[in-house]
Amino acid sequence: MSLGYAEKLSYIEDVGNVGMSEFFDSSHVLQEKIERLAEMIQKSKHLVVFTGAGISTSCGIPDFRGPKGIWTLQREGKPLPEASLPFHRAMPSMTHMALVELEKAGILKFIISQNVDGLHLRSGIPREKLAELHGNSFMEACPSCGVEYLRDFEVETIGLKETSRRCSDVKCGAKLKDTVLDWEDALPTKEMLPAEKHCRMADVVLCLGTSLQITPACNLPLKCLRGGGKIIIVNLQKTPKDKKASLVIHGFVDKVIAGVMNFLNLRIAPYVRIDLLQVIITQSLSLDERYVNWNLRVASVHALKAPLPFIKSIEVSFADAQKYKAAVLHDQPFNLKRRTAPAEAFEILLKLNFIDGCGCPSIQINVPVNFKVSSDCFNLDKDLTIRNLKEKAIQDLCCGQNALIERKVILEPKTEVANHAIVTNIKAFNSDSWSNGDVKHPRGVNGTRISRKRSFGRKRKSRF
């Protein structure tokens, strides 16, 4: 996986403590602590979760400070781990998806994350219940109107710099900026204010997979103590805040959370990833008006010049294979130019070949073309369509399902744009496989290798 985030950071000599030793509670002790944690969560009225890189290591994203962490390997002069998957194809872990279920059950009130991998949003946590203290590698924001844009590709810059895209609001149009902080950038007020508020309100702050070294972020959990709240820390390394915690658990985060979910009788739903693309057909009459010159383009819905990161190549063929010549598009932007008689109707067959990291190798989309018939614009219920796609993927336990979600027509130049949604990954979770079977099951709740994380142990500026 790409380790570009670490390379984009400004160089500093001291990155804090690295190569920290890992500790593991014995099986019996771990089981007792998991049950105690589950009971505390079950009784909580305002649970806040504070996350670090440790919840994403099982997604293939290495941390910075552990024995195989990025900074540890660099300090030892060892090569960094090879990328097994592109960063943008990382999928949420069991812990990410368990937090979604806790939020849906009304138990989890807020998440504060130091990670920039965007996996909390991808998992389904509502944006208003999430503070991303150090930004999101897949998020751009408009500095003028404040609109946020979640991308399917990694934004090319960090340090709150301008990107190559603009706000899509016709009344705005300002240049967008990345949201990821560099070393000297102050923590954003927009994220810090709700984080502080919820920590003060919390009766339990659960710290997952964080060494709690970087200030001022690491002091946020302490704000619950004044109101009688409790801190629980789940981490493989010891932290500077362990003495303030009511419970410290040394174990893999996924194993601990799986045990908690079993104790609470809460099922973890599969993760389904849906990617979007647009098929654009632009037409114009030839000078002698005998032919229609048309251009096919398969592009990102985020911007015409934005990358389409999950597509490796596109095989273009036609239902009438004898009349129209097939082609293979290897390079982005994916464009094909042809000419046909104005009265001809035909069907384009697009075989989309996916990159490694997608759950299926390819799918086919059929595109009917009739230049004599004007296409109507229509917008399907996008949320409903995507929800149906997810349900079908979970039912089939496979990916490749796709649906048209929008079609629009532009009069000059005459262009038809069709937006498609595609299920490109599905990941199921079995919390029982992480449990040793000793967890007791009371009634349910309410009576029934990529590197993008910021956990560096160095003080960051704050506006507070």
Query: If you write DSSP's letter for every residue of 99-151 in order, what string do you get?
Result: HHHHHHTT-EEEEEE-B-S-HHHHHT--GGGEEETT--TTEEE-TTT--EEE-
CA 153, CA 86: separation in Å to the nearest integer? 10
360-370 core/surface letters (b: 16 or more CB in 10 A; e: else) = eeebebebebe
Report the candidate in 154, 134, 158, 7 with the shortest Cα–Cα distance to residue 74.
7
Amino acid present at 455: S
207 labeled part of a ligand binding site: no
CA 370, CA 216: separation in Å to the nearest integer? 61
The yes-or-no answer on residue 134 being catalytic is yes
| Residue 414: φ, ψ to 5° | -65, 115
Q: Which pLDDT value is given to residue 62?
A: 79
Please confirm whether the linkage preceding 368 is cis (ω < 30° from 0): no
Report the candidate in 464, 458, 371, 396 with the shortest Cα–Cα distance to residue 114.
458
Residue 458, classified by CB atoms within 10 Å of its CB into exposed (0-12), middle (13-18) or buried (19+), is middle
CA 7, CA 452: separation in Å to the nearest integer? 10
Q: Which pLDDT value is given to residue 440?
A: 40
Q: Which pLDDT value is given to residue 412?
A: 85
CA 345, CA 324: separation in Å to the nearest integer? 12
Residue 209: which residues within 8 A CB-CB, separation 6 or more? 51, 52, 53, 54, 55, 56, 57, 63, 95, 234, 235, 253
167 labeled part of a ligand binding site: yes
CA end-to-end span of the chain? 36
58: Cα within 13 Å, side-chain hemisphere: 16
Residue 353 neighbours by CB distance under 10 Å: 16
Cβ contact 403:392 at 8 Å: no
Could you tell me where the beta strands, DSSP code E, fall in 371-449? Answer: 378-379, 402-410, 415-427
Tell me the three state secondary structure of residue 271.
strand
Cβ contact 97:266 at 8 Å: no
CA 44, CA 206: separation in Å to the nearest integer? 11
pTM of the entire structure? 0.89
Q: Which pLDDT value is given to residue 343?
A: 79
What is the CA angle 60-64-66, rounded to 5?
85
Which residue, chain included where needed, has tokens 């300002």? 174
The single residue of 120, 134, 198, 420 carrying the catalytic annotation is 134
Report the candidate in 63, 43, 45, 44 with the shortest Cα–Cα distance to residue 53.
63
pLDDT along the chain (464 residues), means of 10: 64 70 95 98 98 92 76 76 80 97 98 96 98 96 96 95 94 96 92 98 97 91 97 96 98 97 96 97 91 95 92 95 90 94 90 96 94 69 92 94 92 91 95 56 36 37 39
Q: What is the DSSP track for 354-375?
A: EPBTBSSSEEEEEEEEETTSPP
CA 255, CA 431: separation in Å to the nearest integer? 8
Cβ contact 249:33 at 8 Å: yes
CA 136, CA 178: separation in Å to the nearest integer? 8
CA 464, CA 461: separation in Å to the nearest integer? 9
CA 100, CA 89: separation in Å to the nearest integer? 19
Handedness of CA 157, 278, 86, 351 (dihedral sign): negative
Q: Which pLDDT value is given to residue 279?
A: 97
Q: Which pLDDT value is given to residue 115?
A: 94
Q: Which pLDDT value is given to residue 367?
A: 94
Residue 317, classified by CB atoms within 10 Å of its CB into exposed (0-12), middle (13-18) or buried (19+), is middle
Q: Which pLDDT value is given to residue 61?
A: 86
142 labeled part of a ligand binding site: yes
224 labeled part of a ligand binding site: no
Q: Which pLDDT value is given to residue 56?
A: 92
